[in-house]
Chain A
């Protein structure tokens, strides 16, 4: 079996490749260091460079692919991060887990620039632990080539003509929340009857579903594999830039509004610099440079007049007050996340 033994390391290393190992490192210098943990491509790199120069600091940037991945890393005590960017419902969970530092607003005078509707979000009353960085709404994106009449209701996804053409996000809260909204319930309902109604409807939607996808949903729209589906407004704007046939609506029943935020973990080392960073990013001119690049809506009230016309006229980035009035935040469902996960598993089990 000599040869067989020679193959063992090969086989083992391929198993490692299969399971996908990732590592990350960060170097330290004499300078002040700000360790940021955020989503990929969430800042204009030039703005980060400006900050480094102005404050004589070094910014390290680690990325996560989901809120849960970020939470898992922080709970495991891995990585000392000074600034993180959790989404709304995760802020609530992290406050409850006592992981977030209370922000010192006196060090962030620019917080005054924030639009009023973001100053007191339900997941973090009075924004004590987090400040909105960017926000968007889950609505319907559709391809006008195949869908002649613009959809106006979540109900439209159930149209039998779209068999095998609908894409939904691969996220239990988004999808079950959507079906709850369709039935006129809260997107975070924990009522058994309401959840069951939403589930029965989703089961009926299965023949129409092409795939569940969050990470590569944009490609599915650009290559026209899918005709219609649930998409974040910012992603819709990205898709429309690549494929001009794409339209986007917030259905009449209303959609889920979400936000990524700035927050400072309790375990962070350089809280002073983290506050300075948040304040710098909320400067109107800096924010314009940043948001024009990332293509998401700027929550900075003072910045809107400074933005380019192209940015201001993009209705997928800047939703109308009427559309925003029909939105609802996802609430943390605590223990009931088990119920959501069970329904989700059942939806995908083919029962």
Chain B
């Protein structure tokens, strides 16, 4: 029986091997290669691409991107957690409808949705036209092509990624534990703090990692909603593959993001394992 189960995994493993492991290996090889004069790739081993990353310019952009990613994750968490919590509390027959609404935007191409934001926020956009027509402002507000617009776009794009895992965690939470807390005299707030929140941490952490890692590599939002004015790390990587024709450097920068993500996921596993041990399941 055990072997049969393994056989069923073969298509999935093949998929991962062909579309994930092999491309990743290419990136690794490229990261240690050199750029030719005309942008061709010279397969001579070098560490130069990585030493370039440590130049203050790129380190600074990396840290700025980290800050944007942390901000995006925190805002998503603050917006997403209460929403996920609410969805688990509504009448079960409405739950699916709510989940559908959360996932609905994915049915429309992300690029199209980003341009929709441009139409909403630009100086003759919906928001400015409305505010002007009710006489609240004389001059259109600068809503687009600002750091705030980038943050808005990121949160908008990634919010569902945190709602869904948190919803899953909260949904399977053992209500008996909450009842026990109430029986022992815990206030609703205390019960939430000591029971609900710790038990939903796996969802919070996995959702946060999804959002954080995705926002670290994001380049469409800063381009379209930020007016391409302040480059994030994803934009720098994109530039290396296009205008700079420097695939080796771009690959090295991608590796930095990959390594960073791996470290985060490793920490996540450590955290969840200790969590499970606490609950006596480990």
Which residues does A use to contact B, with CB under 8 Å?
Answer: 1, 3-4, 7, 10-11, 13-15, 17-18, 20, 66, 68-69, 71-72, 75, 93, 96-97, 164, 170-173, 206, 209-213, 216, 223-225, 332, 334-335, 337-338, 340-342, 344-346, 348-351
Contacts and interface: CB of A to CB of B under 8 A. Distances in A.
Interface in B233-265: 235-236, 239-246
A224 B240 CA distance: 32
Given A69-B242, A75-B40, A348 B110 contact: no
A349 B57 contact: yes
Interface residues of B, number: 52
Contacts of A66: 242-243
Interface of B: 35, 37-40, 57-58, 60-61, 64, 103, 106, 109-111, 115, 118, 122-124, 142, 144-145, 157, 160-161, 164-165, 168-169, 171-172, 203, 210, 214, 220, 223, 227-231, 235-236, 239-246
A351 B39 contact: no
Contact of B229 (A1, A3, A69, A209): A209
A333 to B, nearest CB: 10
Contacts of A332: 38
Contact of B235 (A171, A206, A209, A348): A348
B106 A14 contact: yes
B180 to A, nearest CB: 23
13 contacts: A7-B165, A7-B168, A11-B164, A15-B214, A20-B110, A68-B243, A69-B242, A206-B229, A213-B228, A337-B246, A340-B244, A345-B58, A350-B64
B57 A344 contact: no
Please indicate which of the listed interface residues B38, B160, B203, B210 has the most CB atoms of chain A within 10 Å of its own CB. Answer: B38
Chief secondary structure at chain A's binding surface:
helix
A201 to B, nearest CB: 17
A173 B242 CA distance: 12
A69 to B, nearest CB: 7
Contacts of A75: 40
Contact of A20 (B111, B164, B227): B111
A97 B145 CA distance: 38
B239 A211 contact: no
Contact of B124 (A14, A170, A216, A225): A225
A346 B57 contact: yes
A271 to B, nearest CB: 23
B168 A345 contact: no
A79 to B, nearest CB: 17
Given A14-B160, A20-B220, A337-B39, 18 more contacts: A1-B168, A4-B168, A10-B106, A13-B106, A14-B161, A68-B241, A75-B40, A173-B243, A223-B124, A225-B144, A332-B38, A341-B244, A342-B57, A345-B61, A346-B57, A348-B229, A348-B230, A350-B230
